[in-house]
Amino acid sequence: MMTNMESRPGATQWFHYARQLENTQLRQLAQSGKLVSRISHLVHMLQCERGASNIWLCSAGQLYGPEIRASRALVDEEHARLQSLLQEMRPMANSALCHRIAGAVWCLEQLPQLREAVSGRHSDAPQAMDQYSRTLRHLLSIVPQLNDNIDHPHIAGGMVALYSFMQGKELVGQERALGAIGFTQGAFSHEMRQELVDRIDGQQLCFDTFISLASPTVVHAFRQQCEAEAAIEQWRRLACTRQPAPDKGESALRWFTLQTQRLEQLRSIEEMLIAELMSAVERRLAQDETTLPLASWLDDATDDTFSLRRDKQLLLVVRQQARELEQLSGQLASLQDALEERKVIDKAKYVLMHHQNLSEEQAWQSLRKMAMDKNQRMVDIARALLTVKSLWQVTTKG
């Protein structure tokens, strides 16, 4: 008859059971690796479409028409591949992952309307950039959700490194798009300069996390190929300290070309990261630990506890970076509103200067006083003034 002690699972059986659960997680991650790769491809093509659309809009449809058509075709190809893969993955997706996927799919479904607005120039560059960036943000948010159930520290660290890198690359893409707007228009406002600085600083934070976790081989390749070169730094200084000279879009195209080269180099590093991560998963699945002594398992378990705690903490940092990326996108929308309001106020100032023979400062003070007297925003007073002017013109013509 079996005693209670003999019927209870021993330490070896518990370790075997732990390994079985880990293997189940890793097999799921191996499938998820295909999803990460597809997202990576689609994100890169969308970043290209976003940048080309900005130059097209800022140049009043004079530049980058063929590039927009080419990038849209590539986005559609990658979108179709992603849709096909998502159908295969539905049985293994948890509810949190499904929510992330739903947000990304919804944004992708809005692409036709966005493209129509860009082609007809019914949207301006900041508005289009905001919508493209929102889609990219939702796509990238899927990746860290794939890491939630991974307990192996090396694999978890690889996922964090990859996601940090993808975020950094997206910030490079946003820097390219913002710079394209400023150089094509021939002017950078104070707000646009601050947006550029925020994205440059954000890149560094993301890439620092990536460097702390990636393999020496990948880090070496990144430092050799992907650091912002001297030419980019020169254009950054020009954008952030001086106004570019009018040159029919030549500066914008030069900026765009340099940043595109950097994004292509970052793309190759991203591929290396994905390949290394999937290789690590395959090696771990192939390991046969049935013959290892129990002491080896105990040593591994102790090391893993510390490493896993560190990587989980890093994952929290990366998710904070994701929230900051979302805030940056929100700031871009606020920037667009501020620019529109400034245009309205400037038009109203001109009306006062022209019809009442005021200086610019006097016109500004007059608008400000009217706003204070009526307890309204200056932009609302400016809009009312422009409406009255329009009605006056119609009456006069009649």
Name which of 108-112, 266-270, 394-398 the model is least confident about.
Answer: 394-398
Name which of 138-142, 147-151, 269-273 the model is least confident about.
Answer: 147-151
Name which of 124-133, 189-198, 232-241, 338-347 the model is least confident about.
Answer: 338-347
The pLDDT value given to residue 297: 45
Q: Hey, what CATH topology would domain 333-390 get?
A: Arc Repressor Mutant, subunit A (1.10.10)
What are the residues whose beta carbons fall under 8 Å from the beta carbon of 9, sequence distance 6 or more? 17
What mean pLDDT do residues 1-17 have? 59
The pLDDT value given to residue 366: 85
Q: Closest by alpha carbon to 34, among 109, 116, 146, 114?
A: 146
Average pLDDT across the chain, whole number: 78
What is the rounded distance in angstroms from the CA atom of residue 236 to the CA atom of residue 214?
28
Q: Are 179 and 239 in contact (CB under 8 A)?
A: yes
**Residue 1 above 50 pLDDT?**
no
Percentage, residues of the chain above pLDDT 90? 26
Question: Between 148 and 190, whose confidence is greater?
Answer: 190
What mean pLDDT do residues 116-134 have? 91
pLDDT range class, residue 78, cuts 50, 70, 90: very high
The pLDDT value given to residue 119: 94
Residue 147 is classified by DSSP as T
The 10s digit of each residue's pLDDT in 223-246 is 998 888 888 999 999 888 888 877
What mean pLDDT do residues 11-31 have? 68
**Residue 269 above 60 pLDDT?**
yes
Q: What are the residue ranges spanned by the domains of the chain?
A: 27-284+308-331, 333-390
The pLDDT value given to residue 280: 78
The 10s digit of each residue's pLDDT in 303-356 is 444 344 444 455 555 555 555 555 555 554 554 565 677 778 888 888 888 888
- Rounded to 5 degrees, φ, ψ at 243 are -95, 130
Residue 229 is classified by DSSP as P
What mean pLDDT do residues 180-209 have? 87
Question: Between 294 and 182, whose confidence is greater?
Answer: 182
The pLDDT value given to residue 305: 41
Q: Are 348 and 381 in contact (CB under 8 A)?
A: yes
**Residue 292 above 50 pLDDT?**
no
The pLDDT value given to residue 309: 44
The pLDDT value given to residue 113: 94
**Residue 50 above 90 pLDDT?**
yes
**Residue 396 above 50 pLDDT?**
no
**Residue 156 above 80 pLDDT?**
no
194-201 contacts: CB < 8 A, separation 24 or more? 195/328, 195/331, 195/332, 195/335, 196/236, 196/239, 196/240, 197/240, 198/328, 198/331, 199/171, 199/172, 199/174, 199/175, 199/328, 200/171, 200/175, 200/236
**Residue 248 above 60 pLDDT?**
yes
**Look-up: residue for tokens 């900051």?**
324
What is the rounded distance in angstroms from the CA atom of residue 48 to the CA atom of residue 62?
18
Q: Which of 188-192, 215-219, 285-289, 381-385 has the highest mean pLDDT?
A: 215-219
What is the rounded distance in angstroms from the CA atom of residue 366 to the CA atom of residue 353?
10
